Amino acid sequence: MRKVIPLFIALAIPFQWLLAQSNPTWAPVFTQINQEVQEHSQAYSQLKAATSQIGHRLTGSANGKRAEDFAFELLKSWGFSQVRFQPFEVESWSRGTLSLQVGTPSQMVPIKAVTLAHSPVKSFIELPIADMGNGLEEDYLAQPDKVKNKIALVFLGVLPNSKPGTGTLHRSEKTALATKYGAKGIIIINTPPGGILLTGTASVTGKLIPIPAVCIGKEDGMKLKEQLLQAPLQANIKMTNQSAMIKARNVIATIKGASLSNEKIVVGGHLDSWDLATGAIDNGIGSFSVLDMARTFQALKIKPARTIEFVLFMGEEQGLLGSRHYVQEAKKNKSLGNIRYMLNYDMTNDPKGFSSSIETTKDLFLQIGAAVQQVDASFPNTFRSGAGLHSDHQPFLLQGIPTGGGAGGSLPNNAGPCYHADCDGFNLVDEQGMKNTVRYNAMLVYGLANVAKMDAKPMTDEETRLFLIKNKLKEPLQIAGEWRWKD
């Protein structure tokens, strides 16, 4: 799931000062990590094996179970004694059949489309189309009744002719708004050219939505917008899907801390993917980098001061199911407050620095980065702070836990348009980009796990509320029904 995280570069500290502040024990360990990853990394090769042997990794499917077993057995083969499944049972969704036709009652034309997840199990509607622009609240407030009892047509991103500074929302939030204003269906126009279709959830809750939601290609969508300027159109949407309770498992490998074992660093990435392709980019490059970070620590027999948990989450694509369950379990066993940082790797590739949701650890992150530069002078050591939603860091963030990870990288081989699409294959993966994710972030994990004093701890409920408001997350959380405060 693509996370939308507005982050701001905060660099103005001289390298020599940073280096002087760095822990002198970091450099030799960082050198070992660098050499181990550059020479023996298995991130690329194991991802290649998984994409060819398993295929997609849809949560709740036979392939999803095979992916869970694949990760578990890898960790066991690397010598982890503390590796376990964390099972959970949730309502899940899978696609069935879909037909979309658009035109006039006398002449309907089929349009290539894909069902968005959590659409109804069965739906058949034939109604007029209402162009709702970007599908934001302001679009509906301008004409409150325009979409009532119709099918909303909205652009996934921000239309080129939008006013400066127009923001956007997640596809699920745009679907929730369409439903709120009376739409009986929604057609979402994908943003990249070439007829690429995007899948993903249209639900803010991870449960079935009341209206059918589909995605169409950019060219088809823009053509419909032009036609609607000339004459009314209607759409015929006919779909079937499946929804049932399914079992899935997070995979967790633990390295117990030597001296601060009650304090924990969680290193996570989602193992699951959508079913249109193998999910090599989303999120193979992230989850298999997390696996290789774990392998690196085990190969070097690193004994951190703080406990480290490497977590492969399932169900991220269907509503952050695995990470929500992890947080719920941590609340139950009263270990949530022990988490000092949650580092999330979702489509992370070839990072240029580190990110954090809080600014109080900026100096620490830059100091770790300065020690990385001693090992690899090409590492830019940027720092970004801020927060967003829609990936596995979110359940932690909403509990006030600091989150972070890699920053400043870019997807390899023009992989962006293949996000959640049928072109997300292993051919897009860059081996050195994955190695860079592993080695730089393994160093970050080591630094956080071993620094004597770290200015990071869970925020109070009020601090969390103010933090979310500051980062402009109140509106999307309200749309999703996750704003727990009364204001």
CA distances from 407 to 43, 381, 385, 470 (A): 19, 9, 10, 21
The CA distance from 272 to 250, in Å, is 10
Both 318 and 391 in one domain: the answer is yes
Both 173 and 98 in one domain: the answer is yes
- Spatial CA neighbour of 296 closest among 353, 253, 257, 343: 253
409-440 pLDDT, tens per residue? Answer: 999 999 999 999 999 999 999 999 999 999 99
Amino acid in position 88: F
Both 221 and 307 in one domain: the answer is no
Pairing of strands 7-9, 382-386: antiparallel
Amino acid in position 379: F
Average pLDDT over residues 260-283: 97
Would you state the structure tokens that stand for residue 369, as one six-digit string?
A: 């980065």
Provide the pLDDT for residue 14.
62
**Residue 184, domain member (yes or no):** yes
Pairing of strands 151-155, 83-104: unpaired
Domain membership of residue 329 as a residue range: 7-82+256-479
Both 67 and 168 in one domain: the answer is no
Average pLDDT over residues 96-112: 96
Provide the pLDDT for residue 91.
85
Give the model's confidence band at 191: pLDDT under 50 very low, under 70 low, under 90 confident, else very high: very high
Both 306 and 347 in one domain: the answer is yes
358-389 pLDDT, tens per residue? Answer: 999 999 999 999 999 999 999 999 999 999 99
Provide the pLDDT for residue 4.
45
Task: Write down the mean pLDDT value for the chain.
Answer: 94
Provide the pLDDT for residue 7.
42
Provide the pLDDT for residue 16.
62
Q: What are phi and psi of 334, to 5 degrees?
A: 60, 30
306-360 pLDDT, tens per residue? Answer: 999 999 999 999 999 999 999 999 999 999 999 999 999 999 999 999 999 999 9
**Residue 1, domain member (yes or no):** no
Give the model's confidence band at 1: pLDDT under 50 very low, under 70 low, under 90 confident, else very high: low
Both 327 and 417 in one domain: the answer is yes
Coil, helix or strand at residue 40: helix
Q: What percent of the chain has pLDDT over 90?
A: 91
Give the model's confidence band at 34: pLDDT under 50 very low, under 70 low, under 90 confident, else very high: very high
Provide the pLDDT for residue 117.
96
CA torsion, points 269, 275, 279, 283, in degrees to nearest 10?
-20
- From 191, 208, 243, give the residue that closes a domain: 243
Q: Is the pLDDT assigned to residue 238 strictly greater than 90?
A: yes
The CA distance from 101 to 390, in Å, is 31
221-236 pLDDT, tens per residue? Answer: 999 999 999 999 999 9
Both 298 and 338 in one domain: the answer is yes
**Residue 208, domain member (yes or no):** yes
**Residue 249, domain member (yes or no):** no
State the CATH number of the domain containing residue 181. Answer: 3.50.30.30
Query: Would you say how long the chain is, in residues?
Result: 487
Give the model's confidence band at 8: pLDDT under 50 very low, under 70 low, under 90 confident, else very high: very low
Provide the pLDDT for residue 66.
98
Both 98 and 168 in one domain: the answer is yes
Provide the pLDDT for residue 10.
44
Would you state the structure tokens that stand for residue 253, as one six-digit string?
A: 């490998």
Pairing of strands 339-344, 403-407: parallel
Q: Is the pLDDT assigned to residue 464 strictly greater than 60?
A: yes
HSE of 336 in the Cβ direction (CA atoms, 13 Å)?
Answer: 22
Both 188 and 307 in one domain: the answer is no
428 forms beta bridges with none
pTM of the model: 0.92
Yes or no: say if 360 and 457 are a contact pair by the CB < 8 Å rule.
Answer: no
CA distances from 32 to 38, 161, 288, 317, 439 (A): 10, 52, 20, 35, 10
The CA distance from 24 to 46, in Å, is 34
Provide the pLDDT for residue 13.
55
Average pLDDT over residues 176-188: 98
**Residue 210, domain member (yes or no):** yes
Both 207 and 314 in one domain: the answer is no
46-93 pLDDT, tens per residue? Answer: 999 999 999 999 999 999 999 999 999 999 999 999 999 999 998 889
> How many domains, in total, are found in the chain?
2
DSSP assigned state of 92: E
Burial class of residue 223 in the structure, from the number of CB atoms within 10 Å of its CB (0-12 exposed, 13-18 middle, 19+ buried): middle
Coil, helix or strand at residue 487: coil
